[in-house]
């Protein structure tokens, strides 16, 4: 019985399957052989490279350590030559600088840079000191106009200084001075008071001494009033314009004549002087005072009275 085409094809399928399996096996085996061969070649090349690298390292170590006699463990310093074609140390300019630096160091004990910094710092300090000195001179010295009866000794006493210092400050060739002469005087103790006067500590002391001599038995307000009269005279055009000029004006104050003025002032007299300098004037501007029970002076009795405090009458 003759087979149809379909039947023949079905019979050939197993044969074709077997052939395909054989072909796949052959391809797999061939690929495996090729992979094994490539891996072997790579391993060979890697071994060669590793061997060469090890040999190079050993060669370098042998060459280095053969040149270094000391085999103790020390940090290795590479022998690298960083010199340029023209050595910087051999430059003439550099040699000159090095010589100068060495000379400066030998002379001053430090290099030029340190010396320059020290000089700059010193200049800054000296400049500040000079400026402060100028400001101090401007602040601590003022002008005093010589009054009648003044001499260098009394002026020096007034401003707490010496005759020698006054002579030096004013470039005086002699100790002779004249009325209205302008003298430079120390102003260390000068203080401006509310009444508008600049006085030294010594002048305040003189006012307190006069208060004590004239009114030591008077009430405190009467002592302030005596201080106010002294201040009013200093500010008046009818009298000298200094404490000494007013106090030592001829015939003005009896304590100058009998010497009681030179006794130390009491604490209360000092307080009265300061209160008068601060502007307290119980006399409302009086220029004179006297004890009407003890004085027969027609001039004093002819003055316009302002107020009587204690035993003193205060007048214009």
pLDDT in tens, 248-292: 999 999 999 999 999 999 999 999 999 999 999 999 999 999 999
CB of 242 closer than 8 Å to CB of 147: yes
pLDDT of residue 10: 64
| 270, containing H or E segment | helix 267-277
Cα 245 to Cα 150: distance, rounded to the nearest angstrom: 8
CB of 312 closer than 8 Å to CB of 225: yes
- pLDDT-based confidence at residue 205 (cuts at 50, 70, 90): very high
pLDDT of residue 122: 65
pLDDT of residue 81: 52
Q: What is the mean pLDDT of residues 216-223?
A: 96
Compare 164 and 132 and report the one with higher pLDDT.
164
- pLDDT-based confidence at residue 226 (cuts at 50, 70, 90): very high
Residues contacting 265, CB < 8 A, separation 6+: 205, 208, 209, 211, 212, 273
Compare 92 and 231 and report the one with higher pLDDT.
231
**In the chain, % of residues over pLDDT 90:** 44
**Using N-to-C axis directions, what is the helix angle for 267-277 and 220-235, rounded to 10°?**
50
Inter-residue long-range contacts of 191-199, CB under 8 Å, 24+ positions, other chains counted: 193/277, 193/278, 194/277, 194/278, 194/279, 195/231, 195/235, 195/276, 195/277, 195/278, 195/279, 196/235, 197/231, 197/234, 197/235, 197/277, 198/142, 199/243, 199/277
pLDDT of residue 27: 73
Pairing of strands 182-186, 141-145: antiparallel
- pLDDT-based confidence at residue 15 (cuts at 50, 70, 90): confident
Cα 242 to Cα 18: distance, rounded to the nearest angstrom: 146
Compare 313 and 45 and report the one with higher pLDDT.
313
Residues contacting 288, CB < 8 A, separation 6+: 229, 300, 303, 314, 315, 316
Domains of the chain: 142-188 (3.10.350.10), 198-315 (1.10.10.2520)
pTM: 0.53
Most confident of 63-67, 106-110, 132-136, 217-221: 217-221
Tell me how crowded residue 214 is: count the other CB atoms within 10 A of its CB. Answer: 24
Secondary structure (3-state) at 122: helix
Residues contacting 278, CB < 8 A, separation 6+: 193, 194, 195
**In the chain, % of residues over pLDDT 70:** 61
């Amino acid at each position: 019985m003759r087979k149809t085409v379909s039947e023949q094809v079905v019979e050939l399928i197993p044969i074709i399957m077997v052939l395909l399996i054989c072909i796949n096996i052959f391809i797999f085996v061939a690929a495996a052989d090729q992979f094994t061969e490539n891996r072997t070649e790579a391993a060979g090349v890697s071994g060669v490279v590793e061997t060469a690298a090890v040999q190079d390292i050993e060669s370098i170590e042998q060459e280095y350590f053969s040149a270094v006699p000391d085999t103790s463990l020390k940090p290795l310093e590479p022998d690298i030559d960083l010199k340029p074609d023209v050595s910087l140390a051999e430059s003439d300019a550099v040699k000159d600088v090095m010589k100068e630096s060495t000379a400066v160091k030998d002379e001053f004990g430090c290099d030029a840079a340190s010396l320059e910094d020290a000089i700059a710092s010193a200049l800054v300090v000296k400049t500040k000191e000079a400026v402060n000195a100028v400001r101090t001179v401007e602040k601590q010295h003022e002008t005093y106009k010589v009054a009648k009866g003044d001499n260098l000794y009394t002026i020096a006493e007034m401003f707490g200084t010496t005759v020698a210092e006054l002579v030096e400050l004013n470039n005086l060739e002699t100790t002779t001075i004249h009325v209205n002469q302008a003298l430079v005087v120390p102003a260390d103790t000068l203080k401006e008071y509310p009444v508008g006067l600049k006085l030294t500590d010594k002048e305040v002391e003189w006012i307190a001494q006069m208060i004590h001599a004239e009114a030591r038995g008077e009430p405190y307000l009467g002592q302030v009033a005596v201080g106010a009269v002294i201040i009013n005279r200093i500010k008046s055009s009818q009298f000298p314009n200094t404490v000494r000029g007013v106090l030592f004006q001829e015939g003005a104050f009896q304590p100058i004549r009998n010497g009681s003025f030179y006794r130390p002032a009491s604490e209360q007299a000092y307080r009265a002087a300061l209160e008068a300098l601060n502007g307290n004037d119980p006399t409302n501007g009086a220029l004179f005072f006297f004890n009407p029970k003890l004085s027969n002076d027609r001039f004093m009795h002819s003055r316009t009275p302002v107020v009587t405090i204690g035993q003193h009458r205060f007048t214009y």
